[in-house]
Amino acid sequence: MQDKFPQYSRTYLTLLEEMGEKITEDSVGVHFPDELYRLARKSQPERIIRFIAQVLDEVSLLLDEDLNVVAWDQKKLKDFMSTLDTQLVATQSCGDKAKAWELIRKEVHRHLTKVDLLASTRL
């Protein structure tokens, strides 16, 4: 994930900036709780991956509306959504792999504990 994430991130951020006029400086009046980012930053890698995947998924769902009413460059919007979705899938699979390895580690631990018990009682 660390290899490709910056590449895709730069791509979708650039597309987001270029698909419309200059990004507005107007305030929306509703602020995302930045505390969640501070908490995520202090979390274990698996939780950070899940947090990133959740944010990407929410952005994808938000922009998966009928956006024909906006004056955005439709090609760049399509490329943005494609890149975002690619990043989301990769992030989700990375999280699943981490979880799968934890399950494997659990089973290996269980079996090696049994081997240890067998060796200590029967040898």
Give the residue ranges of DSSP H helices in the chain.
5-18, 35-41, 45-62, 74-122
HSE toward the beta carbon, residue 87, CA cutoff 13 A: 28
* Predicted local distance difference test score (pLDDT) of residue 34: 85
Euclidean distance between CA atoms 8 and 24, whole angstroms: 23
* Mean pLDDT in residue range 30-54: 87
Residues of the chain with pLDDT > 90, as a percent, come to 32
* Predicted local distance difference test score (pLDDT) of residue 109: 82
* Predicted local distance difference test score (pLDDT) of residue 1: 58
pTM for this one? 0.72
Q: What is the pLDDT of residues 67-117, one digit of tens each?
A: 778 889 989 999 999 999 999 998 888 877 777 777 777 887 888 888 888
> For the chain, what are the domain ranges?
5-16+32-95
Question: Greater confidence, 119 or 1?
Answer: 119
Q: What is the pLDDT of residues 11-32, one digit of tens each?
A: 999 999 999 988 888 887 777 7
* Predicted local distance difference test score (pLDDT) of residue 2: 60
